[in-house]
Amino acid sequence: MIRVSGLKKSFNNNEVLKDISFQVNEGETVAIIGPSGSGKSTLLRCLNYLERPDAGSIEVGEVSIDAEKPKKVLVNQLRMQTSMVFQHYNLFKNKTVLENITYPLTATKKYRRREADAVGQNLLEQVGILDKQEAYPISLSGGQQQRVGIARALAVDPHAILFDEPTSSLDPEWVGEVLNVISDIAQKDKTMLIVTHEMNFARDIADRVIFMADGYIVEEGKPEDIFDNPQHERTRRFLSKYGRQVSTENNKEEPALVMA
């Protein structure tokens, strides 16, 4: 479970997160959508303290942390509760595919080498890329790299997985395979928070959708409600830009979407 309340974050004088509160329940998949620059990545990065929030509190799994007085030990523990899948994959370039997964296991979790290898190979099999275990990241396609990134995130067996636009830098031909892998994980009741611009994907796999704009959560709800029957003008305006992507009959009948 993830519980965030009153989260604020500024970069210099640019107030990016203005008072964010939400919750993700155990096993739930939540998609975060919103315009570019609305603070989605910043929000995700606050959850594992890649960015340090200015105010508010964050609770993930057994660890809760108060932004006013974050102890170093707690920050490290908080980071152990989640793992992250990055837009640009960020695979360790100096490690093989298998080592990308096993290195965090042997370095932090004190797995033995052989146990870690078994875990890693099992996950590589799941994401369909076991045959590349000895290869280095540079020799993989984007889709292959991202599947390794997902396996790496799964390996540490986190409380929740954070995805920041996992398909945005992929060539169109690889998007499908990566989305399929993520859908598989969602079905296994992992707790997941996914920032995405793939509206159809969000609609299909999310239990809940959060729409963010200008540093606030504008509205949240079931995918059907958000996409077919948005309550706020700001949401409608955003969705109209993606109107063609969210292709359901409902959308076409919704005048606000077409006109906005």
* Residue 29 contact partner, candidates ligand ATP, other proteins, Mg ion, none, CB within 5 to 8 A by sort of partner: none
Q: In the chain, which ranges are E strands?
A: 2-11, 14-24, 29-33, 55-60, 63-66, 82-85, 160-164, 191-195, 208-213, 216-221
Asked if 222 contacts 205 with a C-beta cutoff of 8 angstroms, the reply is no
Please say whether the beta carbons of 58 and 43 come within 8 A.
no
Q: Which stretch binds other proteins (CB under 8 A): 21-29, 149-157, 198-206, 234-242?
A: 149-157
Q: What's the DSSP call for residue 139?
A: G
Tell which positions 17-46 bind ligand ATP, by CB under 6 A.
Answer: 34, 36-42
Contact positions with other proteins (CB under 8 A) in 31-50: 48, 50
Q: b/e per residue, 175-186, with b = 16+ CB within 10 A?
A: bebbbebbeebb
Amino acid symbol at 54 = D
Q: Which of 34, 104, 143, 243 binds other proteins (CB under 8 A)?
A: 104
- Binding string, residues 59-98; x marks residues near other proteins by CB under 8 A: -----------------x--xx-xxx-x-x-xxxxxxx--
What's the min distance (Å) between Cβ of 32 and Mg ion?
10
Residues engaged in binding other proteins (CB under 8 A):
48, 50, 76, 79-80, 82-84, 86, 88, 90-96, 103-104, 107-109, 136, 138-139, 152-153, 155-156, 158, 162
